[in-house]
């Protein structure tokens, strides 16, 4: 159901992969309460690109951290792929992130002394995969993002756009159901950012991956199937292609 309690067209055939219920996150800063998020409720559906947008300080990165189980809410809960994150211990959360989620960051997060292929392979070493399977996944992922010929280059030998595509390949190699991306176009020019979004759209349409992007980039807002806009830690509205659903 949407925020106004009415079914939306994209909700009819599938259940949400993420359900956020009355989520609140309050921090203590210099003896005062800082309300990073207040009473957020929303659903994220599979095989879509969903954007979480808002100005700096709106709470969007806090929300992303809560979705990933990297932080705990003050109240409310997050159900991820059927699991209530609040009920999972840290080892179970780690397993969920390792096996079901992929991550892409604004700063790329590549290890400078490793090649592109080695960077893509790093998370796979946490799994019980054979060397051949790891190599096959690395090769497939780099081919998917168009960087086969750059596999043996180190980050400083790659452009910003290429580094971000390596980061996408690293997320993709884990065969995730969901990719969480924090300002993935933030360090890219508009043309390179457009190419990255085209790549992410292909991941949604051809690989069936659910992508959640935290951003203030207008291109992301235009490309996304659903946009959840935050303001001062509250959900202001949800925009579905050609629709707007006001939050309470």
In angstroms, the CA 135 to CA 115 distance is 13
Instruction: Reply yes or no on whether the pLDDT at 178 is more than 90.
Output: yes
All structural domains of the chain with their residue ranges: 46-71+87-246
47: left (phi over 0), alpha (psi -120 to 50) or beta: left
DSSP H or E run through 26: strand 18-29
Q: Read off the pLDDT of residues 17-34 as tens digits, 9 standing for 90 and up.
A: 999 999 999 988 877 888
| 4, 55 Cβ separation under 8 angstroms | no
pTM, rounded to two decimals: 0.86
Instruction: Identify the CA nearest to 26 among candidates 67, 61, 66, 75.
Output: 75
Nearest one of 163, 111, 126, 113 to 142, comparing CA atoms:
163
Give the residue from 90, 173, 175 showing the smallest Cα distance to 138. 173
CA-only gyration radius of the chain, Å: 18
Rounded mean pLDDT, 179-184: 92
Share of the chain above pLDDT 90, in %: 69
Q: What is the pLDDT of residue 11?
A: 43
Place of tokens 């996408």: 168
Please return the burial class of 114, using the count of CB atoms within 10 Å of its CB with bins 0-12, 13-18 and 19+. Answer: middle
Distance (Å, whole) CA 112 – CA 156: 7
pLDDT, one tens digit per residue, over 30-49 is: 778 889 999 999 999 999 99
Tens of pLDDT, residue by residue over 96-113, are 998 899 998 878 888 999
Quickly state the pLDDT bin for 242 (edges 50, 70, 90). Answer: low
Residue 198, by phi and psi: left (phi above 0), alpha (psi -120 to 50) or beta? alpha
With beta carbons less than 8 A apart as the criterion, state whether 193 and 19 touch. no
Query: What is the rounded distance in angstroms from the CA atom of residue 39 to the CA atom of residue 180?
Result: 21
Give the residue, 128 or 176, on which the prediction is more confident.
176
CATH T-level topology, domain 46-71+87-246: Rossmann fold (3.40.50)
Q: What percent of the chain stands above pLDDT 70?
A: 92
Beta carbons of 188 and 164 less than 8 angstroms apart: yes
Q: Which two tokens stand for residue 105?
A: 């960051």
pLDDT in tens, 78-87: 999 999 999 9
């Amino acid at each position: 159901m949407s925020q106004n309690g009415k079914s939306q067209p994209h909700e009819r055939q599938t259940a949400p992969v993420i359900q956020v219920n009355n989520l609140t996150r309050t921090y203590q800063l210099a003896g005062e309460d800082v309300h990073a998020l207040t009473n957020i409720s929303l659903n994220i559906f599979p095989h879509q690109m969903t954007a979480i947008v808002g100005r700096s300080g709106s709470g969007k990165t806090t929300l992303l951290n809560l979705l990933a189980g990297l932080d705990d809410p003050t109240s409310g809960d997050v159900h991820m792929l059927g699991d209530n994150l609040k009920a999972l211990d840290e080892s179970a959360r780690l397993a969920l992130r390792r096996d079901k989620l992929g991550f892409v960051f604004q700063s790329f997060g590549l290890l400078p002394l490793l090649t592109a292929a080695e960077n893509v392979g790093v998370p796979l070493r946490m799994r019980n995969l054979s060397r051949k399977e790891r190599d096959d996944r690395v090769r497939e992922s780099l081919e998917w993002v168009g960087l086969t010929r750059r596999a043996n280059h180190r980050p400083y030998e790659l452009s910003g756009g290429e580094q971000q595509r390596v980061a996408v390949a690293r997320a993709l190699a884990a065969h995730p159901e969901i990719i969480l991306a924090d300002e993935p176009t933030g360090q890219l020019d508009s043309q390179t950012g457009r190419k990255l979004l085209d790549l992410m759209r292909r991941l949604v349409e051809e690989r069936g991956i659910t992508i959640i992007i935290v951003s203030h980039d207008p291109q992301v807002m235009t490309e996304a199937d659903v946009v959840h806009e935050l303001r001062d830690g509250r959900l202001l509205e949800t925009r579905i292609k050609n629709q707007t659903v006001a939050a309470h």
